[in-house]
Amino acid sequence: IFHVFLHTRRKMGLLFLLIICQCAINSIKTHSVSKPNIILLMADDLGIGDLGCYGNRTLRTPNIDRLAEEGVTLTQHIAASPLCTPSRAAFLTGRYPIRSGMAAFSRVGVFLFSASSGGLSSEEITFSKLLKQKGYATALIGKWHLGMNCESNNDFCHHPLSHGFDYFYGLPVTNFRDCKPGQGSVFLKGVQKDLVIPVQITGIALVSLAVVQYIGLLKVPFQALSYFLLIITISLVVLIFFFYQFRQLNCFLMRDHQIIQQPLSYENLTQRLTKEAMKFIERNTDTPFLLFLSYLHVHTALYASENFQGKSKHGLYGDAVEEMDWSVGQVLDVLEKHNLNDKTLVYFTSDQGAHVEEISSAGEVHGGYNGIYKGGKSTNWEGGIRVPGLLRWPGVVQAGAYIDEPTSNMDIFPTIVKLADAQLPSDRIIDGHDLLPLLQGEVTQSKHEFLFHYCNAYLNAVRWHPGNSESIWKVFFFTPNFSPGDSNGCYDSHVCFCHGGFITRHDPPLLFDLSRDPEERVPLTPETESRFYEIIRVIQQAVDNHTKSLHAVPNQLSWDNLLWKPWLQLCCSSLFQSCYCDYESGGGPLQVHLG
């Protein structure tokens, strides 16, 4: 009996010790996942096939690959849009861009000018707003592309500082070819195509009026003709002035509300952005912080500093990728230096897939590689929306794990909001889902049963992952017409469009099973898939439910909101001085750089 008593006592003691240890572990784990630092790294137009951790064997990306080795790799991470502006709006808000008015009904789906009046509405709630309310220091460094002003050139209604960021250092719009001398003008090429017919019609109308006036068939009042000619002349002068000054008016660097370099200089630009990011981290080692480092790489115009030029196997594009990877390494090193690794969640992605149609005037490929996936930027083929998704958080997130479930860049919103102990908004639909249960292996299936893929404001495709199946069904209601027809993109127009003669509609919709055909090569038919009509029916019901959840909101990408408005133009000196200044080099408005 005595031995039984001792044995029982020993077991009870061990059980009690195990309970205490488990409580301590749970306490540590709970503490570790509360209010971590957040670093969000976003590339621009990077292909999923450009990274070593996604299979590339010729581009060197050791620092980005390290995130994969020490964290989780999402293999089916989906951008909410295949274009910059709507994708970034969805990322910041956790909502489909159609809900925030950041999806265009016109051909142009992104902001082109710094002096447009559209942008991310002040009614939208960003993760930066919510984290700032919870005591986080917040910074955006790099590209914004979500609007600037509404009614005057200093109201800054759409500015990053109006959306929860304490600090902004970067570009208010984006990196255009037009911003870098000698890189051509994709923008001007598109405008020229659109202006040819109106100019021809105007010319024919003027000649016709002159002829009928001369032969006496019609008497046109001289005053009316003069007004008409004056309007045409003024319009042409404004147009010529704008395109001649495009670089100065739209390509500039800001710190908070102040322009510090106009036009933008590409000299050591990535180094400057990286230095700003590192300084922000070092200022906040004792405070929880949110850093959104939004790279200009690898959107054209391509650029790379002297240390990286000519070093890759893929020309200037490869140089830019490898320079960006260096920058990621610098950010990771500063975390390690200050013992912040275990306190910091790091996320790396791209806003959409590679822009496959990007080819320089010299014939050099300036677009990236989307791996096995079809299409690219501006399309909802997998190449346009399947993007890198890497998350590292030592001790909390599984290291070296792969997750093949559908996830979205909208998922970052609820994930980091919950980590910051903030409340998700209850007055609106949040389309993203918390990723942490997936990342920690607590669940094996994504909450995204359906994902809706928009081409601008038009529902283009739907992805369905049934809970009881490994299949991932994807239907297309229309597809872009590639040009040339046997190519992998819309090379004639530089990007693919979403309506009219640019698309082919499908009834019944095209159906693919991505689990068996990730390249989207062979559409399924009722003959090759016995459940064809059942799958279409389920997806159509989901579309109906989704459509009912949408509410009318102001269209931020209407023509009125897209057009250049001179009274909204930001200029660090004056238009008469051609908006030249360079405070970055220690000079002011009179320090002019013509390079």
Please identify every residue annotated as catalytic.
84, 145
What does each C-alpha distance from 384 to 97, 184, 232, 495, 560 come to in angstroms? 16, 24, 40, 11, 28
Phi and psi torsions of 487, nearest 5°: -95, -175
Looking at residue 499, the DSSP 8-state letter turns out to be S
Instruction: Provide the terminal-to-terminal Cα distance of the chain, rounded to the nearest Å.
Output: 94
8 A C-beta contact, residue 352 and residue 87: yes
Looking at residue 224, the DSSP 8-state letter turns out to be H
Looking at beta carbons, which pairs linking 433-442 to residues 24 or more positions away fall under 8 Å?
A: 433/408, 435/391, 435/407, 435/411, 436/33, 438/403, 438/405, 438/407, 439/72, 439/391, 439/393, 439/396, 439/397, 439/398, 439/401, 439/403, 440/396, 440/397, 440/398, 441/398, 441/401
d(CA 226, CA 241): 22
d(CA 181, CA 54): 34
List CB contacts of 386: < 8 A, sequence separation 6 or more: 48, 76, 77, 78, 79, 353, 370, 373
DSSP bridge partners of 73: 390, 402
**Rg of the chain's alpha carbons, rounded to an integer?**
27
d(CA 515, CA 473): 8
d(CA 437, CA 92): 21
d(CA 582, CA 573): 10
Looking at residue 51, the DSSP 8-state letter turns out to be S
Share in percent of the chain as helix, strand, coil (round to 5):
40, 15, 45
d(CA 287, CA 36): 10
d(CA 390, CA 462): 24
